């Protein structure tokens, strides 16, 4: 770990009783969903992490608790440091408070996560899908969403599948 990062990691650990992992000099801090806004605000205001470089998630299905990790990749331009905050979220109620008021970039990035993973951000000013069509069902980047799957129609079941197959008809 970078020496300059040690006091920052320690501060977050003490304040939020966060656990941390290290891999190839990258630090991942784990905090609870209800602490994330305080943690981000602290990092931005006290430790100069001005840039939220990436906001994304990973799905660990079929594991349910936690099913998702919401990932905040923060960069400090002044100190030239990076730190990653991970928020484990359960599959039954994937809710995280919105970070829009801390970093404006979170607005679109959270919409992307809502669209792709179905993770809901409480208090989000504009909770719409961003990339897929609004009438789409399911969340494509979830691990239980099949890749390129379409029910094949054969002569014996053509009409049966045709009834429930979603496409525009005359």
Partner 1 sequence: MSQIEEVSLDKFKHLVSERALTGETMLLNMGPQHPSTHGVLRLLLELDGEIIVNCIPDIGYLHTGIEKNMEAKTYQKAEVMTDRLDYMNTMGNNLAYVMAVEKLVDLDVPVRAQALRVILTELQRIASHLVWLGTSGLDLAAMSMFLYCFREREQILDIFELVSGQRMMTTYFRPGGVWRDVPVEFEKAVRDFIKIFPKRVDEYETLLTKNPLFLDRMLSIGRLSKEVALSYGVTGPMLRASGVDWDLRKARPYCGYEQYDFNVPTRTEGDTYARYLVRVQELRESIKIVEQALNKLPLGPVRSSNRKFVTPPRSEIGVSMESLIHHFKLWTEGFPAPKASIYSAVESPRGELGLMLEGDGGPKPYRVHLRTPSFDNLGVLSQIVKGHLVADLVAILSSTDIVLGDIDR
Residue ranges in contact with partner 1 by CB under 8 A:
23-24, 26, 28, 50-54, 56, 58-59, 71, 73, 77, 80, 82, 84, 103-105, 107-109, 125-126, 128-135, 140-141, 145, 147, 165-169
- Closest to partner 1 by CB, 34 vs 126, is 126
109 vs 51, 62, 103, 114, 126, CA distance in Å?
13, 24, 10, 9, 11
Question: Least distance to partner 1 from the beta carbon of 98, Å?
Answer: 14
Number of helices and strands (H, E) in the chain? 4, 7
Contact 60, 69 (CB under 8 A): yes
CB 109, CB 125: distance < 8 Å: no
Q: How far is the CB of 96 from partner 1 (least distance, A)?
A: 16
Contact 48, 42 (CB under 8 A): no
Minimal distance in Å, beta carbon 108 to partner 1? Answer: 5
Taking alpha carbons only, the member of 47, 35, 36, 37 closest to residue 5 is 47
CB 105, min distance to partner 1, A: 3
Least separation in angstroms between CB 53 and partner 1? 6
Distance CA 117, CA 8 (A): 30
Residue 26 or 64: which CB sits closer to partner 1?
26
Nearer to partner 1, 39 or 113 (CB): 113
Nearer to partner 1, 34 or 51 (CB): 51
Instruction: Give whichever of 35 and 86 is closer to partner 1, judged by the CB atom.
Output: 86
160 neighbors 151 (Cβ within 8 angstroms): no
Residue bearing tokens 């069509």: 133
């Amino acid at each position: 770990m970078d020496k300059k990062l040690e006091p920052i990691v320690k501060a977050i650990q003490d304040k939020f009783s966060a656990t941390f992992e290290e891999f190839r000099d990258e630090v991942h801090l784990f905090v609870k969903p209800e602490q994330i806004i305080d943690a981000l605000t602290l990092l931005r205001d006290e430790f100069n992490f001005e840039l939220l470089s990436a906001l994304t998630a990973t799905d660990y299905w079929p594991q349910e608790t936690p099913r998702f990790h919401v990932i905040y990749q923060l960069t400090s331009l002044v100190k030239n440091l990076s730190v990653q905050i991970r928020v484990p979220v359960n599959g039954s109620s994937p809710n995280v408070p919105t970070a829009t008021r801390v970093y404006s970039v979170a607005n679109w990035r959270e919409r992307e996560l809502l669209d792709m993973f179905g993770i809901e951000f409480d208090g989000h000013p504009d909770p719409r899908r961003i990339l897929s069509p609004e009438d789409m069902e399911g969340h494509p980047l979830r691990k239980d969403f099949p890749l390129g799957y379409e029910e094949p129609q054969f002569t014996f079941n053509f009409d049966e599948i045709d009834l429930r197959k979603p496409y525009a008809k005359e």
